[in-house]
Each structure stands twice: as C-alpha cells, then as structure tokens.
Amino acid sequence: MNLPHVVIIGGGFGGLTAARALRRLPVRVTLIDRANHHLFQPLLYQVATAMLMPGQIAAPIRQVLQRHRRAQVVLGDVTGVEAGRRQVIYHAGESGQQRLDYDYLIVATGVRHSYFGRGDFEPFAPGLKTLGDATHVRNRILSAFEAAERETDVAKRRALLTFVVVGGGPTGVELAGAIAELARVAMKEDFRRIDTRLTRILLVEAGPRILPSFSEDLAAAATGRLRAMGVDVACGSAVEEIDDGGVRVGGVAVAGRTVLWAAGVEGSPAAAWLGAPRDRAGRVQVRYDLSVPDRPEIFVIGDVAAFEQDGRQLPGVAQVALQMGRHAARVIEARLLNDAPPPPFSYRDTGNLAVVGRNYAVLERGRLRLSGYPAWAVWSMIHILFLALPNMRASVFLQWVWSYVTGQLGSRLIVEQKFSSSSGRSSRSGG
Ligand SMILES: Cc1cc2nc3c(=O)[nH]c(=O)nc-3n(C[C@H](O)[C@H](O)[C@H](O)COP(=O)(O)OP(=O)(O)OC[C@H]3O[C@@H](n4cnc5c(N)ncnc54)[C@H](O)[C@@H]3O)c2cc1C
C-alpha cells in the first residue's frame, strides 16, 4: 500500500498501454474509465455498418488487466482534477462523487466530436466515437432501408435511400465505402420493393480533396475507387445546413434522411480540469516529456495531447497514443529509480492506412505507397493484431473470412428501434 500511486484516466489506446508498461514497476496503478471496456475505434465503422458485433471490437478493461496484480480498475466518470491536492474527482453512479489521491497522474481521455460551433447539427448527424454511437448509427442506416421498403412515395423513398457522410478523412471514407458495400452487395437480394443497389451515397468534404493526411495520388486512387463503388465524392463544398430533411451543400439542398458526421473532433475537458494551456482544438499542450507545464507529476497523452514535432502537430491516431503511453511510463520509471530521464518524446511514424470498401485500402509509409488489395491485406493483418484480446482476434478474423466468402454481414440488427417513427430514425440504444 505504500507504493507510489499512478492514476490513469482513460482506458483507450494511450491509457491501457501506459498501464501495461507500468506493470513491472513498484507502483500501484488505478485506471479509471467511464466505460467498462477498451474500444478498438478503428473498427467502429464496421459495427456501424453491420459487419461486426460490438463485442468483437471491445474488451472489458478488467479482463485486459487481469494479470496486472497491482492494477485496479474503477468504473467512473471523471469530472475534475484538483492538482494542488493531487486528487482526481469522479462520479461513480450510486456512490456519488468520489476522490482518488495520486502521486502521478496520466490523462488519456481522448477527443469527442466537434460540430465547429454548430451543435444544432448533432441530433441530425451523429458521429462515431463510442459503441453506443455505432449501434445508434447502425440502427439509423438499417432503419432507413426498412422505411424505404414501406414507403410508396417515390421522392420520400429516394430521400430514405440517400446517405450523406460529412467529412472526407479516413473515417468518412471508410463509412461511405462500407455503406456502399452494404447496399450493393450484402443486402441486394433481401428487399422486394426497393433495389438497394440504387442507394445514393454522398461523401462531402470541405477541403479540396479527401484523405488530406495522404499523398495526392493515394487520395486520387481512393476517390476513383469510391466513385467506382457508386459513391458521389463532393470536395470543396462545406455543409451549410443539416436538418431532418437532409443537408445543404454549396447552396444546393440534398434530400437525405441519414446524415453521418465524420468531420471534426475536439479535446475532452482535460485542459480545463488541469488549468493547462490548450490549442485551438482544446487539446492540452504538453512539454517534451508529455508532462503539463508546472506539473511534472501530470502527463497528458494520446488524442487529448497537443504535441508538435518537426513543426507539425502529431495526428490523432492510435500509434501516437500507444507510443505516448509507453513514454509516460518510461519517464515515471526513471523518476522512481532516480535514473537519468529518457530522451524527449519523439513519434516514430508507422504509416497511414485507410480502407475503401472490401479488398481495397491505401497505405503510405515513408516513400512506400500502396493501393488496392495488397494494402487491404496489410490493413486487415494490422487491425487484427492490435485487437486487445486473442478471442477478439480469432472472432474478427473468422467473421471477415466468412463475409469474404459469402458476402454476408455479422450483425444486421436494429436494436431497440422505436417502430412508431415513420422517418426511419430510431431511439439511441446502448449497445
Ligand atoms: C471512428 C474512428 C476511427 C478511427 N480509425 C483509426 C484508424 O484507422 N487508425 C488509427 O490509427 N486511428 C484511428 N482512430 C483514432 C484512434 O482511435 C485514436 O487516435 C485513439 O483511440 C486515441 O487513443 P486515446 O487513448 O488518446 O483515446 P481513446 O482511445 O479515445 O480513449 C479515451 C478513453 O477515455 C475515456 N474517458 C473519456 N473521458 C472520460 C472521463 N471524463 N472519465 C472517465 N473516462 C473517460 C473513454 O471512455 C475512453 O475509454 C479512429 C478514431 C475513430 C473515432
């Protein structure tokens, strides 16, 4: 009990990696998360588009840390940090507000959607961040097809079969491609009154091209692939309005009953808890060792950290969070053992990947650029390897093989649908 206490807020890629890396040190670790599971967000779009089941991409944090005997897991929603008293304040359901003392604190709370000051878009254009979001989006997509099958009015049916994805980054591209696969391959035989192959998918990007984090030739290849799959790619047009009838883009109204948001993120409220400097996206500006200015015992890692390297902000990707988690643990280790501090944090870029429907991905690593099936094979392998538990890896692998052979999806379920709605919109369900 007298061992130094490291509290980690957030069991995502960053927090969980830090907890694992601290395993061999003489410290107590408490990992606190508002969810009981670690979520593999890169495959969230596959839950949203009915390919995978929630349990295939989420692992109970307790199970992941089962063998880490000095680690405790707390299910709680952190609401603040009193840095002067070295306490984390969290809300724990029926137990109400609680406090937790720490010697070292690692904040890894990630980001949330940003609607760029247009919070009124949110009810009409859900984003993807949690398992609840993914099942909600899945409900919306599948319900739209059901409503279209019932609808007799041609214009309304057309609107029900129009899907708009806002944001041409990897998540938007992956979602648009997966909806196209769903409509044109997986469900094409299943309806009697509608032809799901006539579904319209519109991918809207405000910038000049999709996949801005990739080179131009790979972005062009991905655009070509999406168009071949029947996705309309509209670049250089910002969405001006979104309501329950659809969107207005570049002054043109598009009637579409399902609009999905993949356009922007902002940091969780960690900067406000810590009174720390933040960037424009609300992420905490950390020092070279990932600690917070004037608070050497507090580290901020992963998506919620703003870290500049070679004049550019590091991207919000899993590899950055994983490497930061390991680095924060190394700094704590050096302090505990009175060793020399490790060199300043430096991100080793492991490359960029985005999948565009089945059998096609784009990959960029240094000078290597790949598109098509080879990139997709690499994408599949990496995604399976990085799932948290062996049973998840086996299950996702088998599901993909099954879907590859049969064209069938893993989880085409509408959960807790409010049947009274004729609009095809459903109530939000938890998972
Ligand atoms: C749809 C989607 C697709 C993506 N695809 C890719 C991809 O293909 N490749 C890639 O590299 N990256 C991808 N990313 C980004 C990647 O998932 C993130 O960079 C990574 O998850 C960041 O890890 P993190 O630990 O910083 O935060 P997260 O993984 O987001 O974890 C944050 C954790 O903190 C918890 N938390 C938040 N607030 C509180 C609170 N107040 N109290 C308690 N707990 C809290 C959350 O429940 C969560 O478990 C994707 C992200 C999304 C959303």
Mutate to test the pocket of ligand 1, among 61, 317, 347, 356 (most ligand atoms within 8 A of CB): 317
254, 246 in Cβ contact below 8 A?
yes
Nearest-CA residue for ligand 1 atom 17 is 41
Residues touching ligand 1 (Cβ under 6 Å) are 9-15, 32-35, 41-42, 44-45, 77-78, 108-110, 128-129, 170-171, 268, 302-304, 316-319, 321
Q: Which domains does the chain have, with CATH numbers?
A: 5-34+76-113+265-336 (3.50.50.60), 119-263+358-406 (3.50.50.100)
23, 71 in Cβ contact below 8 A?
yes
User: Does an H or E element contain 368, and which?
Assistant: strand 368-372
Mutate to test the pocket of ligand 1, among 17, 34, 41, 211 (most ligand atoms within 8 A of CB): 41
The pTM is what?
A: 0.94
3-class SS of residue 286 = coil
Instruction: Please identify, by atom number, the ligand 1 atom nearest to the C-alpha of residue 111.
Output: 30
Residue 280 carries which side chain, given as an amino acid letter?
Answer: R
Q: What is the pLDDT of residue 407?
A: 84
Among candidates 202, 214, 235, which has minimal Cα distance to 361?
Answer: 214
Q: Tell me which DSSP letter residue 278 carries.
A: B
CA torsion sign for 180, 181, 182, 184 is positive
- End-to-end, the C-alpha distance of the chain in Å comes to 37
Q: Give dist(CA 287, CA 324) in Å, integer.
A: 12
Among candidates 299, 395, 399, 386, which has minimal Cα distance to 38?
Answer: 386
Catalytic choice (82, 149, 151, 174): 174
3-class SS of residue 246 = strand
Residue 142 carries which side chain, given as an amino acid letter?
Answer: L
Please give the distance, rounded to the nearest whole angstrom, from the Cα atom of residue 303 to the centre of ligand 1: 7
Please give the distance, rounded to the nearest whole angstrom, from the Cα atom of residue 110 to the centre of ligand 1: 5
In degrees and rounded to multiples of 5, residue 185 shows phi and psi of -115, -65
Nearest-CA residue for ligand 1 atom 35 is 10
288: CB partners within 8 A, 6+ apart: 344, 345
Q: Give dist(CA 79, CA 217) in Å, integer.
A: 44
Please spell the DSSP secondary structure of 376-405, one letter per residue: HHHHHHHHHHTSSSHHHHHHHHHHHHHHHH
Consecutive sets of 10 residues in the chain, 431 residues long: mean pLDDT of each?
94 98 96 98 97 96 96 97 97 93 98 93 96 96 97 97 97 97 94 97 97 96 97 95 95 96 91 95 96 97 97 95 98 96 96 93 95 96 96 96 88 74 41 36
Q: What is the pLDDT of residue 338?
A: 95
In degrees and rounded to multiples of 5, residue 106 shows phi and psi of -120, 120
Q: Tell me which DSSP letter residue 281 carries.
A: T
Please give the distance, rounded to the nearest whole angstrom, from the Cα atom of residue 266 to the centre of ligand 1: 12
Annotation marks residue 174 as catalytic: yes
User: Does an H or E element contain 80, and which?
Assistant: strand 77-82
Please spell the DSSP secondary structure of 50-61, one letter per residue: TSS-GGGTEEEH
Q: Where are the beta strands (DSSP E) in 160-289?
A: 162-166, 200-205, 231-235, 239-243, 246-249, 252-255, 258-261, 265-267, 284-285
Whole-Å CA distances, 72 to 8, 23, 40, 272, 358: 10, 12, 21, 26, 40
Q: What is the pLDDT of residue 73?
A: 98
Strands 258-261 and 162-166: parallel
Please give the distance, rounded to the nearest whole angstrom, from the Cα atom of residue 59 to the centre of ligand 1: 14
In degrees and rounded to multiples of 5, residue 299 shows phi and psi of -115, 145
User: Does an H or E element contain 274, and which?
Assistant: helix 270-274
Please give the distance, rounded to the nearest whole angstrom, from the Cα atom of residue 368 to the centre of ligand 1: 27
Which conformational region is residue 195 in: left (phi greater than 0), alpha (psi within -120 to 50 degrees), or beta? beta
Q: Give dist(CA 291, CA 425) in Å, integer.
A: 44
Assigned token pair, 277: 């400097």
